[in-house]
Every structure is written in structure tokens, then in C-alpha cells.
Copies of this chain bind each other. A is one copy, B any other.
Amino acid sequence: MISVVILGAGNVATHLFNAFDNADAIFVNQWFNRSISRLRSYKNKVEIIDDVSQLKDADVYIIAVSDDAIANLSKQLLFENRLVVHTSGTVNIHDLDKKNRRGVFYPLQTFSKSAALNFADVPICIEAIDKADLKTLKALAKAIGSKSHKVNTEQRKALHLAAVFVNNFTNQLYRVAHEITEGEGVEFDILKPLILETAKKVQNLSPYMAQTGPAKRNDKKTIKKHIELLKKEQHKAIYELLTANIQQTHGVSTGATAQSKKK
């Protein structure tokens, strides 16, 4: 049995609590937040506290608060030499106060307040200074059905950055598509199977191998028509930049080069 204390009341904290609460091998000893009212609905399931001096003994203290608040909260803890981890993709492990044993438990997934999450689909990036602590974090991930990955700080930061590309930026491309279809009075729904298939394709194939379309085959006529169809300047700029990037990745010789090759 691993005993855990959660600190914070945001999306990550809440999803972790629910997962821990459902796991046989984990006991959530306490849930701390500066404001108790946000956790009121959980008071029958776990002891809720708002005072760090009331914190009891636990195997792992999980600080799941906003990046800027992590260092300060870790300083306020009154005990020492216990395992204290944060859940951020970007905060340095050394930003945690060194009076305790430090670690990171970073779930790499998109969290919505409403949607239930199956932690089997949530890889957890773990980091710890002490080897035994790494083992504890690995067991904690396993107990909620997650696969854990030992990464160092630079790797975690790279994953966080890459996640912005495959999540936030990808979602914005969906948004652009939504605007384009709406502009012609056609349902965005028609694109949903393609959105899903595009994500499924790279589960077994590298993105390099999965690429198709006018940019890759240097279909200048279609590219020109597409740019003309776009109404917003920013959408045109996105089209041009990503087309250029695809062509760079796939070594497509564009206009001038192709001409000179013909000579």
C-alpha cells in the first residue's frame, strides 16, 4: 500500500485523486488546498485540510498546483527527508525545496474537468534524485494503470514542448478547419473521421511515412488554389509555412530549384 497526500485542487489534482481513490494499492491520506471550499464535495472520501501544519505522514506528497506556486509551497512544508514530487512538465526538479527528497510525477495527457480519464491512456514521466524514490513513483503509476517513463529534466521539457505541437497547435488546426467549413455552410462533422484516422495512422507509422498531400507531392496548382480560397491572412500564413516545412522535411525541390534542375 502506498500512502499519498495530494496538494492542490486543479484538474490534474482532481484526476489524480479519482484515480488514486479507485486504486487498490493506494491510500490517499489527506488532500490539502489553501481553500477548503473547492474540495467540499470530497469530504466524505478523504480528509480535507487547508493548513500545512496538519499534514500527516505519507510515502509521497504530490504537489499539483500551478507552475509558479510549486517552489513556494514546497518551502512551506514543515517536515523533511520525505518524498515530495510535483506534476509539472516544465518546472525543474531542483525548484522543489531540498529539505525533502525530490521527484517529478508528470502525466502527459490533456485534462478536462468534465471528461473522465482512463489512466491506461496517460503515460507518466517520472524523475527522482533517489533511486528508491523512482521505484515508488513507478509503483504509484502502475497502481493506477499508467505506463511510466523515466526521463531527465531536459527530456521532460522536450516532451512538454512537443505536447504543445501535437495537442494545442493540432487543435488550432482543427479550429481553422472549423472556420473554413463554417464559412461555406458545410458541417465540420464531415471532417471528424479524417481527424481520428490521421491520429490513428501515426500510432503504427512514423509521421514522416504517413505524410501525403499537395505539399509533399509539390502540386503547385492545388497549393495556389488553396491559398486563394483562404480568407484570413493568418490562415494563409499557416498554410504557406506548414507547406514549406513539409517540403523541407521531404526534400521537395520547390519552384526555382525544380526549374534550374530541368535546364
Contacts and interface: CB of A to CB of B under 8 A. Distances in A.
B249 A212 contact: no
16 contacts: A109-B193, A112-B201, A112-B205, A121-B196, A149-B187, A155-B184, A155-B185, A155-B186, A158-B184, A166-B177, A166-B195, A168-B213, A171-B198, A171-B202, A175-B207, A234-B245
A162 B149 contact: no
Given A109-B197, A125-B190, A167-B194, 14 more contacts: A110-B194, A155-B186, A158-B186, A159-B191, A164-B215, A166-B173, A168-B215, A171-B201, A175-B207, A176-B245, A178-B206, A188-B206, A192-B203, A241-B241
A116 interface: no
A25 interface: no
A42 interface: no
Contact of A249 (B175, B185, B186, B193): B175
Interface residues of A, number: 86
A191 to B, nearest CB: 5
Interface stretch (A30-38, A78-86, A95-103, A224-232): A224-232
Given A191-B108, A212-B110, A174 B202 contact: yes
A3 interface: no
Contacts of A207: 171-172, 174-175, 177-178
Nearest to A200: B196
A125 to B, nearest CB: 7
Interface of A: 67, 90, 108-110, 112, 115, 121-123, 125, 149, 151, 154-155, 157-159, 161-178, 180-181, 183-188, 190-203, 205-208, 210-216, 222, 225-226, 229-230, 234-235, 237-239, 241-242, 244-246, 248-249
Contacts of A154: 184
B245 A238 contact: yes
Contacts of A237: 241
Contact of A165 (B108, B125, B180, B244): B180
Nearest to A110: B197
